[in-house]
Structure 1
Amino acid sequence: MPFLLLLIIFIPEVSAVSGASSGKILDNPWDHSPITVYIDDKNTPLHYSPTYYRQVEKALEYWEEGGNGNLDYTPVFEIINSEEADISIRWVENLESIEGAPSGVAGYARPRVSGDRFVRVDVVLEVGNYQGKGWRQYGDSTMLTISKHELGHALGLGHSNNRRDIMYPQYEMRDNINPILLSKYGGLLSAAGLIALIILLFLGISWQYSRRKRKKLENECFNEDR
């Protein structure tokens, strides 16, 4: 069942916000390159999956390769092990319960601005949300989408009105594979799949053998009757 997630940005009053049609907060918010990034995979919540780190790396690669095509510059990132990085990324269990965010918000970017430049951007991503009373863990594909979106804000992009654009402020999360369960039981699932395949092959071979044997008997009976 689809579940709608909201993606937001906190825009400081001092920032120069462009018109809604441009979809930009700042045209070129960074005055240097590479843009340093700190990914906090140490202070993580209970349901954090180690696979999320790779999704952030893929999101960085996405923007380095051009992203949605709306940037006027080509960003170059450098991941460093320092909280003093230009962009700091961390995870929380749930934004609504931990930081009082509106219901359904899956991530946010909070830039600190000086003049017409970003000084620092804090990106916070949640690892899951509540659907009714039940907890729903985000899969890797959802985390990748959220990461791409919030990094777009960190590069100066605002929200888009195009539903197909990564910067559209809503994301419809469909059935997703829980990465924690996959890491725990992936081996068992693979083994079960292999066993099922062997059984299907055996049944197929047995059916072919029985079919040939039945046809042979039918031919013998037909010849005797003649």
Structure 2
Amino acid sequence: MLIVFSLPTVSTVSGAEAEKILDNPWSHSPITVYIDDKNTPVHYSPTYYEQIEKALEYWEDGGNGNLAYSPVFEIVDSEEADIRIRWVENLESVEGAPSGVAGYAKPRISGDRFVEVDIVLEVGNYQGRGWRQYGDATMLTISKHELGHALGLGHSNDRGDIMYPEYELRDNVNPILLSKYGAVLRAAGFIALAVLLFLGVSWQYSRKKRKKLEDECFKDECFK
């Protein structure tokens, strides 16, 4: 039996009640996770891997509070893992997904247990006529949502719950550009700060010097 969840994910998190697909879908612990950072699309950012790690930690720490068990994950370098995660450039153009879908989870179920779950995430979507890459915060939100499905949760009707089937772009920073030019941007920021400090110190020095001259001038009756 194969169930496919297709969704444009989520917003923020809360303890809102979410529909459960299975109360305890995994028969063992830890749940192994394979993150495919080798077969990646053109606009994949290495920082996306970190977002998966953060999403796993989120659910291990209790997530949205609606799980009936405490999941423990183990990241492994094997495609035989319980949960397999990969990225595509865009789900609409690559896999023919409906417009607006940012990720999906495909569990294979035997009885009342998950045998394995494939999670597919896109790295960007179309905004109007242009394609836009997701920033790290957006990727983290999508990852949390899809992992929620892989842990047995369905969608929530609460907009504040991570399992609400809708997402917002959480940031506008292209992670590839940030990683490529981050050092330059930081250097420029330090230079700008140094210039501002220099101007501030110069202004204070000029102000004190002017006041000293004015005091001396008044003392010597310069303006009579």
TM-score computed with the length of structure 2 as normaliser = 0.90
Partner of 2:9: 7
Q: Partner of 1:172: helix, strand, or coil?
A: coil
Contact 2:47 2:175 in 1 (8 A): yes
Gaps of 5+ in 1: 9-20
Contact 1:141 1:176 in 2 (8 A): no
**What is the RMSD computed on CA atoms of the aligned residues?**
1.4
Deviation at 1:174? 4.1
Partner of 1:117: 113
Partner of 2:128: 132
1:224 and 2:220 correspond:
yes
Partner of 1:27: 23
Deviation at 1:50? 0.6
2:22 maps to a residue whose letter is: L
Contact 1:104 1:129 in 2 (8 A): yes
1:149 maps to a residue whose letter is: H
2:39 maps to a residue whose letter is: N
Q: Partner of 1:143: helix, strand, or coil?
A: helix
Q: Give the 5 Å matches for 1:15-164.
A: 22-164=18-160
Distance in 2, Cα, partners of 1:82 & 1:127? 22
Contact 1:52 1:143 in 2 (8 A): yes
Partner of 2:195: 199
1:42 maps to a residue whose letter is: K
1:203 maps to a residue whose letter is: L
1:121 maps to a residue whose letter is: V
Contact 1:35 1:76 in 2 (8 A): yes
Partner of 1:15: none
Deviation at 1:221? 1.5
Partner of 1:13: none
When residues 22 and 192 of structure 1 are mapped into structure 2, their CA distance, relative to the original with a 3 A threshold, is: closer
Deviation at 1:135? 1.8
Contact 1:38 1:87 in 2 (8 A): yes
Q: Which runs of 4+ in 1 moved over 6 A?
A: none
Gaps of 5+ in 2: 1-6, 11-16
Higher strand proportion (structure 1 or 2): 1
Deviation at 1:224? 1.6
Q: CA offsets, 1:121-164, max 9 Å, x none?
A: 11000001111122211111111110000000000000111111
1:6 maps to a residue whose letter is: P
Q: Partner of 1:27: helix, strand, or coil?
A: coil
Task: Provide the identity percentage.
Answer: 80
Q: CA offsets, 1:83-130, max 9 Å, x none?
A: 111111000000010011111111110111111111111100000111
Q: Partner of 2:8: helix, strand, or coil?
A: strand
Distance in 2, Cα, partners of 1:105 & 1:143? 13
Q: CA offsets, 1:23-49, max 9 Å, x none?
A: 111101111111111111110000000
Distance in 2, Cα, partners of 1:112 & 1:174? 31
Contact 2:104 2:146 in 1 (8 A): yes
Contact 2:26 2:113 in 1 (8 A): yes
TM-score computed with the length of structure 1 as normaliser = 0.90
Q: How many residues align?
A: 210
Deviation at 1:22? 4.9
Q: Partner of 1:73: helix, strand, or coil?
A: coil
Partner of 2:183: 187
